[in-house]
Every structure is written in C-alpha cells, then in structure tokens.
Amino acid sequence: MGNVIGLTQDMSSWPKHFSQADLVVEAVLEDLNLKHAVIKETEQYIPEHCVFATNTSALPIAEIAKASKRPENIIGMHYFSPVDKMPLLEIIPHEGTSEKTIATAYDVGLRQGKTTILVKDVPGFYVNRSLGPYMSEVMDLVMDGADPLRVDKALKTFGFPVGPINLADEVGIDVAGHVQSFLGDNLGVRMSSPHKNASTILPKMMEKGLLGKKSGKGFFEYVFVVVVVLTSPSLLQSSHISMIPINQINKTLAQIRQERKTKRCECRSTETCG
Ligand SMILES: NC(=O)c1ccc[n+]([C@@H]2O[C@H](COP(=O)([O-])OP(=O)(O)OC[C@H]3O[C@@H](n4cnc5c(N)ncnc54)[C@H](O)[C@@H]3O)[C@@H](O)[C@H]2O)c1
C-alpha cells in the first residue's frame, strides 16, 4: 500500500502519474457510454503500451473496447466485493486483446494474491453466469413473502460464506439490478426468474434509493458506528453494523409483493402472463 497514490482532478500531478502507468483499472458506474468516455479521456494521458482494464460486472468487453484507439490493450479484470476479502479475479480478453495484454493482466492478478482465472467474453463471464439463476430464485422467494433474514440464515447454514440478500446489498442494488436485467435479456428465463416479475424488485428498490450498503439502506439497514478507544483518544475505529431490517424496507417489500399479486391475478384472468 506504500506505493498507492491517491489522485484527484484538483491535483496538477495526475496527468504525470497516468503518463507513467503500465496498467489502469477503470471502475466507474456500469454504463457503456460513461466507460467509453473514460477510455477516450484516459488514452490521452497513458503511454501506448499501457493496459486498460475494465472492472465491469456484465458489459461485454468487446463493446467497451470499441471506444479505444488501441483495442488490443483493453481487457476485463473483474474483482469481487469486498475486494480485499474475495480471492477470485476474472481476466476477460475480448477477441482483439493481445497476448501481451492478457499476460500482463494475469501477472498483476497473481501479484495481488488473487486466484486468477481466464474466462471468455460471454454474458455473465463465469461467476455471474453461475450466480444469476441462484440470485433470481432468491429474489423470487422474497417476492413470495420469504423473510430476507431467514433466507440468508438458511443459506449460510447450508455453507455459503455470505447470504444472498447480504451479497446483493454489499454489491449494490443498482449493480445487481443491472446484472440481472442484462443476463435476463441475453440468457433468458433462467436468469430473470420464471415469473419475470421477480426482476422488478431490484429496479423498484433503486427507485426508492435503497441501493444497499453504500446508501445505508437496501434489504437491510446499515448503521455507521464510530467507536472511540479511550486508551488512545487519537485512534478512532469505525465499523458497520448490518442486518437490521427496518419498517420502511418491509413496507416497500410488502408493496412490491402486492403489485405482483395483482399482476398475477390479471394474468390468470387474461391467460397472457408475461
Ligand atoms: N459493487 C460490486 O460488488 C462490483 C463488483 C465487481 C465489479 N463491479 C463493477 O465496478 C464498477 C463500479 O461499480 P461500484 O459498485 O463500485 O459502483 P459505485 O456506484 O460504488 O461507484 C461508481 C464510481 O463511479 C464514479 N463515477 C460516477 N460517475 C462518473 C463520471 N461521470 N465520471 C467518472 N467517474 C464517475 C463514482 O464517483 C464512483 O466512484 C461497475 O462497472 C460495476 O459493475 C462492481
């Protein structure tokens, strides 16, 4: 960490640091146009050999690479949240990525201590392709009235290190929602739930600002607690306490479930359930 340099646009030195970089990892919002704009701007400053890695969860790397002057330098490096705890790293070349770029990204992953795997540029890559049907079933269960805390507890008892609801909050409801809708569009019903309606839960939560841990509220509420250690007043420790379901969220879930019930009734009466 001694070599990490925090940069902001207010600092005049940031173009100099970019001009010396061998590899840049972009992790801006999951929006293709924004990723294109960031590639174009970054390429004004980075050297020709510099690898440009994107940490997208679901956008095709080949699409992202279309904005680049040097598409052979573009590659996916998909980390998992929380990055310091999750060992896996997906390395995703697109068809035009050079061997040198793949080798550089792979080497950086290994040096970071990651379990580094090389995967194809297909919807969901490896992890989200496997995780998608599981998360869809979980969202369906919640829509059908299952208590999110009990779902998480059951799956942790089964052996998962983190419950799926907690995972969605950790990843961010906006990111999880984008992945679900992208996979549903590309891979069909197994990713978007048999009822399709289940996928409405994440966009509805987004509309209500329930973005998960990063916004303080998702399926659970996250209370930020500052603990002052009395023996050393200068040392402040902070932590998150998680997993407290709150009334507002329970009301939101109840409202979304009710809307779904109404839609199902309409579907039965018209026999055209979507
Ligand atoms: N959250 C996860 O668990 C996770 C895991 C793997 C990959 N990703 C991917 O990482 C990327 C970021 O996701 P996140 O969860 O960190 O999102 P986030 O909302 O927490 O952070 C997005 C970042 O984008 C920046 N940003 C927003 N608009 C910008 C703009 N116009 N110009 C420059 N920067 C801008 C914000 O300042 C912020 O730092 C996405 O592509 C996501 O799919 C997320």
Residue nearest to atom 43 of ligand 1 (CA): 57
Active-site entry in 90, 137, 259, 271: 90
Cis peptide leading into residue 82 (ω within 30°)? yes
CATH 2.30.110.10 correct for 14-118: no
**What DSSP designation does 261 have?**
H
Same fold, 14-118 and 127-254: no
- 227 has pLDDT over 50: no
Tens-place pLDDT, residues 24-80: 999 999 999 999 999 999 999 999 999 999 999 999 999 999 999 999 999 999 999
Lowest mean pLDDT among 57-66, 174-183, 246-255, 264-273: 264-273
- 274 has pLDDT over 50: no
Residues in Cβ contact with 163 at an 8 Å cutoff, skipping those fewer than 6 apart: 151, 152, 153, 155, 156
- 144 has pLDDT over 90: no
Q: Top-level CATH class of 127-254?
A: mainly alpha
| Span 117-127, average pLDDT | 96
Give the predicted TM-score (pTM) of the model.
0.83
How many angstroms separate the alpha carbon of residue 267 from the centre of ligand 1? 37
In the structure, what pLDDT confidence band is assigned to residue 121 with cuts at 50, 70 and 90?
very high
Determine contact, residues 87/114, Cβ cutoff 8 Å. Answer: yes
Query: To the nearest whole number, what is the mean pLDDT of the chain?
Result: 84
| Span 13-21, average pLDDT | 91
Helix (H, G, I), strand (E, B) or coil at 236: strand
Helix (H, G, I), strand (E, B) or coil at 252: helix
Tell me the C-alpha to C-alpha distance, in Å, between residue 258 and each of 144, 201, 206, 254.
10, 12, 18, 6
Q: What is the CB < 6 Å shell around ligand 1?
A: 27-30, 34, 55-57, 78-81, 171-172, 175, 214
Per-residue pLDDT, 141: 87
- Rounded-to-integer distance, Cα 88 and Cα 110, Å: 10
Residue with the larger pLDDT of the pair 18 and 246 = 18
Burial tier of 178 (Cβ tally within 10 Å: 0-12, 13-18, 19+): buried
Per-residue pLDDT, 262: 65
- 242 has pLDDT over 50: no
In the structure, what pLDDT confidence band is assigned to residue 264 with cuts at 50, 70 and 90?
low
- Rounded-to-integer distance, Cα 75 and Cα 91, Å: 7
Per-residue pLDDT, 81: 85
| Sheet (strand 115-118) strand order | 23-26, 51-54, 74-78, 88-93, 115-118
In the structure, what pLDDT confidence band is assigned to residue 6 with cuts at 50, 70 and 90?
confident
| Span 205-216, average pLDDT | 90
- 233 has pLDDT over 90: no
Residue nearest to atom 3 of ligand 1 (CA): 171
How many angstroms separate the alpha carbon of residue 263 from the centre of ligand 1? 34
Residue nearest to atom 19 of ligand 1 (CA): 29
**What DSSP designation does 145 have?**
T
In the structure, what pLDDT confidence band is assigned to residue 224 with cuts at 50, 70 and 90?
low
Task: Map out the domains of the chain as residue ranges.
Answer: 14-118, 127-254
90 has catalytic annotation:
yes
Helix (H, G, I), strand (E, B) or coil at 91: strand
Per-residue pLDDT, 249: 65
> Which of 7, 18, 25, 29 has most ligand 1 atoms within 8 Å of its beta carbon, as the pocket-test mutant?
29
Give the pair of three-digit tokens for residue 176.
């999880």
